Amino acid sequence: MTDKLNWDELDFSYTEVPFRWRAYWKDGEWYKAGLETDPQLPIREAAPIVNYGQGVFEGNKAYGTKDGRVVLFRPDEFAKRLNRGARRLGMPEVPEEEFIRACKEVVKANRDFVPPHGHNGAAMFIRPMLLGVGDHIQVSAAEEYLFTIYVTPVGPLYKSGFKPHDFVVDSEHDRVAADGNGDVKATANYASTLATANKVRKSGYADVVYLDPATHTKIDELSAANFFGIEKGTNKFVTPLSNTVLPSITKKSLLHLAEHNLGLEVEEGDVFIDDLDRFEEAGAMGNAAVISPMGSLTYNGNKHVFYSETEVGPVSQKLYNELMGIQFGDIEAPEGWVVDVDED
């Protein structure tokens, strides 16, 4: 089947591969953990994931290196974030070492579908999910759970790849990922963004930018990525600090790399939509988006152009090269960030 895949032309879509990982939880313990071949999920109609949305998911990647290895990027952080969501929804946690082992095993089982190094940033997308299952119609936590991981080879999130894209602000709808106490949920509910995202993409924009739900004056994030800006005159790396923003592992990593590897000043704080002139460059960042430069951002019918609508800004380029270089094994990573799937 892999002979039918053109690694250079992959987009961000699903390709079925032979194996997925599953483990089941009941009566206080995990059991029957291992690889399965059936892509259909064994979920009953009365399952809490179907009736009440009791589930959390993650999204990380495996990367092919020049020397033929396959590596994971910061899998411990993805495990921690999934378990924060599990605790928030009254679900059993997946032990971190089991999460990492499961990611390794399912990637190794589908190794032929890991895009080789050097193909337009193509990688293997990893989707872990923890779902409330079983027959349980009460509005309470499930008594049975399924932990499952599927993988699929993918290309760039935005079809044209690493180049400036046009984005638009939606000030009419909110994308809230926090509870009433302001505590960030580990995994956002993307479903609330789908209608708006579909609308703006049909209008020719790459994605939609949401403002804060309280005042609608500050940038929060995009439908499936975080926002960053590069401040004029200082090259400061700026990203919103908000209790409604998904705690992105890519954002966390770029804050570290910007400061420690590239020597930039970094700032998490308010990013006001009326202060876009503050930034020379801007972009989206996330596991799927990686770094996607923002050529323009349209707000209330006014189009603001950043560095260029056709050329990538120099700081965005450096950040992209640094992150991708680490993920694909071309640049030495901070300790513990990159894990070889073949290592115990």
Told to judge if 159 belongs to the known catalytic residues of this protein, a careful annotator would answer no
How far is it, in rounded angstroms, from Cα 57 to Cα 332? 29
DSSP 278-344: GEEEEEEEETTTEEEEEEEEEETTEEEE-S-SSS--HHHHHHHHHHHHHHTTSSPPPTTSEEETT--
Task: Classify residue 262 as exposed, middle or buried by CB count within 10 Å of its CB (0-12, 13-18, 19+).
Answer: middle
281-305 exposure pattern, b = at least 16 Cβ within 10 A, e = fewer: bbbbbbbbbbbbbbbbbbbeeeebe
> Which is nearest to 186 in space by CA: 247, 126, 239?
247
Tell me which of 61, 104, 185, 251 is the catalytic residue.
Answer: 185
What are phi and psi for residue 339, nearest 5 degrees? -125, 125
94 neighbors 131 (Cβ within 8 angstroms): no
Measured CA distances, 312 to 1, 43, 288, 320, 321 (Å)? 35, 45, 18, 10, 12
Catalytic residues: 185
